[in-house]
Amino acid sequence: MIAKTPKAIPLFHEIKTLIDSARQRATVAVNAELTLLYWQVGQRINAEVLKGARAVYGKELLPLLAKQLTEHYGKGWSQRNLANMVKFS
């Protein structure tokens, strides 16, 4: 066990603060990137479906796209999520 020295305790708290701050900044950056990604995905789907006002195509496209994206990337790419991304954009 490491003995608590007067210098070690303030150093620990300073380093802890640095780590916590870096983690917080990383979380904010990841959230910003995901928000941008979801908006871009929604925009792209919207542009594809609206090309020629193909509402029927859109109804067929989302389930297929959701299936393919989920198989490749895992959870988070359901038909409902894709529809929300379109609404968000």
Rounded average pLDDT over 30-59: 85
Supply 51's token pair: 């090309």
pTM above 0.85, yes or no: no
- Residue 49 pLDDT grade (very low, low, confident, very high; cuts 50, 70, 90): confident
Rounded average pLDDT over 55-78: 89
- Residue 72 pLDDT grade (very low, low, confident, very high; cuts 50, 70, 90): very high
